Amino acid sequence: MKNKSIQQRFHAAQVLVRDAGLYALQWFRKLDSLKTEKKGPQDLVSKADREVEKMIRERLQTLFPEDGFLGEESGTRNLDAEGIWIVDPIDGTICFLNGLSSWCVSIAFVVKNQIEIGLIYAPCTDELFASQRGTGATLNGKPMKPSKATTLADGIVGLGYSPKSSIVATQKAFDYLFNNGGVYHDVGSAALMLAYVAAGRYIGVYEFQINSWDCLAGIAMVRETGGWTNDFLANDGLLTGNPVLVAAPGVKDAMQKLFAAAGH
């Protein structure tokens, strides 16, 4: 796929991710009337998730009918296509449903196992994190820069956890972090935490197991700002998920040691 074609998608998707976020914000402002379903432990879905994804899917199909699609709520379409859109309509659904502001819309575009576009929009703070491979990454149009941290004690590490993941591995990661002077946050949205590494707010993120729609956009941003990430798409990560590990440049070795300590 030519760079010009990817650039066209990048510009169109920036408009789309913001439109989707503002649509989701309308649902967020009337939570009392929103019906929810339970997919599993600490895993909820609402009509808002489904309607926002439907809006994104239909817009992309109109704009780029030849592209494939993988969404958290509505599944797949045309995965044999050269380019595939990966969509999480509301990352941080539990935060969303509990009236907390740390949720976002996440959209990535993958061509031949390469993440070409990463977009994350957080409506409650009106922050648009955006990256196109080879052109850097921005926050509301301004270039992002990673943290200058050189040890785990120099900043905040995002540690995600789900009941579907390994308690043991996560406990080991916590132990390693604490024993090396670190502190952690979990804002409830993996996509936002990864974007925060690209923006220099966090120095790294680890989660034992995560889905592609939660993290591909953020991984693209971290790479574009000079940070390091594991090869998430290896071993069919697109469809089956993988561990995720990202780090600001100066703490790559320290985060890799945390990864090893967790049992990877």
Q: Each residue's pLDDT tens digit in the chain (264 positions)?
A: 777 799 999 999 999 999 999 999 999 998 887 777 666 554 556 788 899 999 999 999 999 999 999 998 888 899 999 999 999 999 999 999 999 999 999 999 999 999 999 999 999 999 999 999 999 999 999 999 999 999 999 999 999 988 777 799 999 999 999 999 999 999 999 999 999 999 999 999 999 999 999 999 999 999 999 999 999 999 999 999 999 999 999 999 999 999 999 999
183-185 and 156-159 beta bridge pairing: parallel
pLDDT computed for residue 71 by the predictor:
94
Whether the Cβ atoms of residue 64 and residue 11 lie closer than 8 Å to each other:
no
> Can you list the domains of the chain with their CATH numbers?
3-143 (3.30.540.10), 152-261 (3.40.190.80)
- Max intra-chain CA distance, the chain: 52
pTM score: 0.94
Q: Is 227 in a helix, a strand, or coil?
A: coil
Closest CA to 229 of 164, 165, 133, 143: 133
Whether the Cβ atoms of residue 16 and residue 67 lie closer than 8 Å to each other:
no
Q: Identity (one letter) of the amino acid at 122?
A: A
